[in-house]
Structure 1
Amino acid sequence: MTSDPAPEVNSHYLDHVIHVSGSRPVEAAEDIVSHSGVKLLAKGAQINERVRERLLMHKLQKPLEDCIHVTQGIMPESFGPLGEAMFKQHPLLKALCAHDLYPSAPTTLASLKLSIPVQSLLTVYAEHQGERLRHTAGVAMLVLALARRVLPGESERHRMLALAGLLHDVGELYIDPQYMRPGTPLGPPEWRHVASHPVVAERVLRNMVGAGKEVASAVLHHHERLDGFGYPRGVLGAALPMNGQILAAGEWLMALIETSMAPMTRASVATRLIPGEFSREITEAITAAAQGDDAQDALAADPMPLESAIPRVVGIIGMLERFREARPWIDQRIAAARPGLRAVLEAGLQRLLRIQTAFSSTGLDTHDPDGLVASLAEQRDAKLQVELMTVVGELEWRLRELERESLLRAGLLPSEESAVMRELITRLKGGG
């Protein structure tokens, strides 16, 4: 049995710690010792810019994350008022988290016990980007709500998953900040860095006091999907643990609440168009918790004019037509490919076929999109209008996701094989 290699100090994480030290004390919770036995900092020493290079020069006997204490850090009690404020901001979040048999989600978060390493890591993360603590608290509450419905009676597991929700994105602290700035365009090489954050977080959390292997495993899987089209590992079916599924669904729902005009309509459309990403138990739990909020979505949303859908529908039709034309070329490449490339091509093919089927099921694959939109507009049905625009947006997103994920996976292959995937993307986009 081999032991883990001596931990190195991640410069990006350390820079975040030093930034925090400008507003609150950060100190060594114990002696910080190099792998060769040299005491680098004594217990109680301040962690700041003056010790940066000394820490970066050495591998350590224990991870730095386990050896620091951010004093005046985030206290669990603060999640009570934060959660209540988020309920006022997002009534849907409150509705999804409601449960007659358990304390409120903010109350449960406020009662969590945070070890010094976990509290310090969470405090550094909260300083990383201004609104991220609200996001992570929302994810934690949704995860708690889903766990209560899918795993009734397992209160300790519920609390563990809520903690995983709070910590799910701490891996972002270890990535070059230039890739994390909102609006930064990311090609496959850059996206590969971003997509590594669940793996990094798992390594940080698995042996951390107050976190541990169960929390780390859930965090590792929070961007995976049952159909194998998630990341970072493309875990498929039974290989995706229920804890990871619950955290993935909570994170997905919170993203919809934060970014969508009609989040439950978007969730309903997504699960209908691309079924199989989450288990039946989880989708039923989401549906039961929502209790008709998709209809409220439609009344509250202010959808774009239906006419704006026409060029977007035409764009989807054109891409799927090019897919049909490229199908013989794809089948030939799959037949001739080595296992690595074959797996990437087959995963992309299956996802394209599902998008094709989903598009056909909407009735939008018509040769007269102008006439279709005109007939829908005559009905003056606000809910139908919101759903149509949501369907178009979801299909566009799925096509962008397919391109990104396929190029990311292809980027791990030898250059001549990744070139095949790039050629396929070019063909689908009408570039050759």
Structure 2
Amino acid sequence: MNKNVPDIRLSFPPDENPHYIRAITQVGDTQEVIAHVDIFESNGMKLVAKGTRIDSRLFNRLTQHRLTAPLDSMLTAKHPVNTHSLVMELDSVVKHEAVYRRILTRTGDPHAMKQALSSMQLAPEVMLRLTVMRERRPELFMHSIHTALIAFALAQSLDLPEGQRAAILLGALCHDFGEMHTDPEILVAEHDITQDERRYIHVHPITGHVLVQGLSGFSNDATLAILQHHERLDGSGYPNALQGDSIAMPARVLAVADVAETAIRRFDLLRVEMLFRLGQKRFDSNIVNALRDLLHITTTDAQNMRPARNATAQVEHMTALLETWITLRGIIRQEAAPAKADTTALEFLFERMATMRSLILQAGFDPESMASMLVIAQDDPDMLAELRHMLDELEWLASDLANEIDRRSPQLSPPAQGALNGLLVQLQQMK
């Protein structure tokens, strides 16, 4: 077994996940969700009669028994997400969000996505899942809409075959189905995700892949896009740490679109560019270049950057991180000695810390004297702007590295895990 691949298992069969079933029953509290067939337990006992309204009162009955078929295939919502409602969502995004209007316009055919959505044949199970997502996880639903828009625009710009465009669109709409099987409590912004909880997040591409297999309309391209959308070209992704050509083209497109949507939502367009520049080994360069053309970042975008973070606090955190690294790298090198099984698993750490140091040097600053940077830059607006930009890049690298350590930690020996704890604390303070 590749030690870089996390040990990821489904905690429940996908169709029996209690978090998703609870979400379905909660939707039933606010709109009609009807059983369009009798629902049976695997031993033949009828649990719910055809025509029954499904709501929270039935949660225990539906979760305490093994069903003969996935619940999705036996329910119908009165106000489902369908192709018509998806087109309306797209129209709303284009009308109210300038970035996405720009992206579609720069494809040269801004109406192509609406036409593609209108011609889609969504399986009933997909419509129900999208409905549950819209009603119970609206932020995830809009993430899926935005990601689908970016992914389809990229497929247009890359002149991919029509079949692949359709597969990418469907895969993007459904790429986070697996996240609805994660306990929503661990996904709230205020919650500090533990190492064990992060494993449930890492399993969501597998869950989503299992959920859509066999459904009408899903080609191999669409299912692979869902399974592989968190894989990275350098092998740093999950769930299978695939590299290079092992990652299907639709998944590469979806990976760029997924990250771009998150960055646009959380940051600004200049930081989107920064993120992909730092991750150039991870993403397909042709797809990233197509994204740059679609975003077409201008001087106006630069003027609309979000307020800068507290540079003093950022410098203090980076200083503490580098000091911790100097202390720990000797210990960690011993754990990564050629005779140790942790060698490959820890290579990424030295590479990422070297990238941080190189970034500081390239900006013309001294990694050994971070505190003096701010003092020098205070009287020079151009230097201060460059320093802030560099600190933002370092902060993103630190956050990404913290997640990577969390993901790989179960595959490391106890001494290696212990050596990384101090570094992980410093990295998490920079999030």
TM-superposed CA distance for 1:288, in Å, is 1.7
> What is the letter of the counterpart of residue 202 of structure 1?
H
Relative contact order (C-alpha < 8 Å, sep 6+): which is higher?
Answer: 2
String of CA shifts for 1:352-391, please: whole Å, max 9, x gaps.
22333233322233533035423541x49xxx83x65343
TM-superposed CA distance for 1:14, in Å, is 0.8
SS of 1:225's partner is coil
Does the Cα contact within 8 Å between 2:226 and 2:251 map onto a contact in 1?
Answer: yes
String of CA shifts for 1:58-86, please: whole Å, max 9, x gaps.
32332222332223211221223322322
How far apart, in 2, do the equivalents of 1:219 and 1:14 lie? 21
How far apart, in 1, do the equivalents of 2:113 and 2:140 lie? 18
Q: Is residue 276 from structure 1 mapped to residue 276 from structure 2 by the alignment? A: no
How far apart, in 1, do the equivalents of 2:272 and 2:44 lie? 53
Q: Is residue 357 from structure 1 mapped to residue 358 from structure 2 by the alignment? A: yes
SS of 1:369's partner is helix
Where in structure 2 are the equivalents of 1:161-180 lying within 5 Å?
Answer: 161-180=168-187
Where in structure 2 are the equivalents of 1:377-392 lying within 5 Å?
Answer: 377=381, 379=382, 385=385, 388-392=387-391
Residues 9 and 298 from structure 1, CA distance in 2 versus in 1: closer, same or farther, beyond 3 angstroms? Answer: same
- The residue number in structure 1 matching 2:392 is 393
Where in structure 2 are the equivalents of 1:128-277 lying within 5 Å?
Answer: 128-150=136-158, 152-211=159-218, 213-260=220-267, 262-263=268-269, 265-277=270-282
Given the two structures, how large is their TM-score scaled by the length of structure 2? 0.85
String of CA shifts for 1:19-67, please: whole Å, max 9, x gaps.
1111222223444343344444444443333443333233233222233
- The residue number in structure 1 matching 2:419 is 423
Does the Cα contact within 8 Å between 1:8 and 1:56 map onto a contact in 2?
Answer: no
- The residue number in structure 2 matching 1:125 is 133
Q: Which of residues 27, 34, 58 is equivalent to 2:65?
A: 58
> What is the letter of the counterpart of residue 389 of structure 1?
R
- Greater alpha carbon shift after TM alignment, 221-230 vs 45-54: 45-54
Name the Cα RMSD after superposition: 2.9
- The residue number in structure 2 matching 1:312 is 314
TM-superposed CA distance for 1:336, in Å, is 6.0
- The residue number in structure 2 matching 1:409 is 408
- The residue number in structure 2 matching 1:331 is 333
String of CA shifts for 1:395-424, please: whole Å, max 9, x gaps.
1122122123212321355xxx14522422
SS of 2:225's partner is helix
String of CA shifts for 1:235-284, please: whole Å, max 9, x gaps.
33222222111111111111122111x22x11222232332121111111
Residues 125 and 430 from structure 1, CA distance in 2 versus in 1: closer, same or farther, beyond 3 angstroms? Answer: closer
Does the Cα contact within 8 Å between 1:227 and 1:276 map onto a contact in 2?
Answer: yes
Residues 275 and 6 from structure 1, CA distance in 2 versus in 1: closer, same or farther, beyond 3 angstroms? Answer: closer
How far apart, in 2, do the equivalents of 1:212 and 1:55 lie? 31
Residues 83 and 365 from structure 1, CA distance in 2 versus in 1: closer, same or farther, beyond 3 angstroms? Answer: farther
SS of 2:168's partner is helix
String of CA shifts for 1:290-346, please: whole Å, max 9, x gaps.
22x1533212225438xx42442353244235434533322221126654x333212
TM-superposed CA distance for 1:119, in Å, is 0.5
Does the Cα contact within 8 Å between 1:26 and 1:46 map onto a contact in 2?
Answer: yes
> What is the letter of the counterpart of residue 362 of structure 1?
A
TM-superposed CA distance for 1:425, in Å, is 3.5
> What is the letter of the counterpart of residue 289 of structure 1?
L
How far apart, in 2, do the equivalents of 1:215 and 1:225 lie? 18
Does the Cα contact within 8 Å between 1:179 and 1:194 map onto a contact in 2?
Answer: no
> What is the letter of the counterpart of residue 149 of structure 1?
S
> What is the letter of the counterpart of residue 329 of structure 2?
R
> What is the letter of the counterpart of residue 21 of structure 1?
G
Residues 428 and 63 from structure 1, CA distance in 2 versus in 1: closer, same or farther, beyond 3 angstroms? Answer: closer
> What is the letter of the counterpart of residue 273 of structure 2?
S
How far apart, in 1, do the equivalents of 2:214 and 2:348 lie? 34
Q: Which of residues 283, 291, 305 is equivalent to 1:286?
A: 291
Residues 429 and 128 from structure 1, CA distance in 2 versus in 1: closer, same or farther, beyond 3 angstroms? Answer: closer
How far apart, in 2, do the equivalents of 1:8 and 1:251 lie? 25
TM-superposed CA distance for 1:118, in Å, is 0.7
- The residue number in structure 1 matching 2:349 is 348
Q: How many residues align?
A: 413
Residues 50 and 284 from structure 1, CA distance in 2 versus in 1: closer, same or farther, beyond 3 angstroms? Answer: same
How far apart, in 1, do the equivalents of 2:157 and 2:236 lie? 25
> What is the letter of the counterpart of residue 304 of structure 2?
A
TM-superposed CA distance for 1:130, in Å, is 3.1
- The residue number in structure 1 matching 2:7 is none
How far apart, in 1, do the equivalents of 2:34 and 2:82 lie? 17
Does the Cα contact within 8 Å between 1:117 and 1:210 map onto a contact in 2?
Answer: no
- The residue number in structure 1 matching 2:3 is none
Does the Cα contact within 8 Å between 1:199 and 1:232 map onto a contact in 2?
Answer: yes
> What is the letter of the counterpart of residue 327 of structure 1?
R
Residues 352 and 239 from structure 1, CA distance in 2 versus in 1: closer, same or farther, beyond 3 angstroms? Answer: farther
Ranges in structure 1 where 5+ consecutive residues have no aligned partner: none
How far apart, in 2, do the equivalents of 1:85 and 1:114 lie? 21
TM-superposed CA distance for 1:141, in Å, is 0.5
TM-superposed CA distance for 1:428, in Å, is 6.9
Identical-residue share of aligned pairs (%): 25
Residues 421 and 89 from structure 1, CA distance in 2 versus in 1: closer, same or farther, beyond 3 angstroms? Answer: farther
Given the two structures, how large is their TM-score scaled by the length of structure 1? 0.85
SS of 1:166's partner is helix
- The residue number in structure 1 matching 2:17 is 10
How far apart, in 2, do the equivalents of 1:231 and 1:363 lie? 35
SS of 1:20's partner is helix
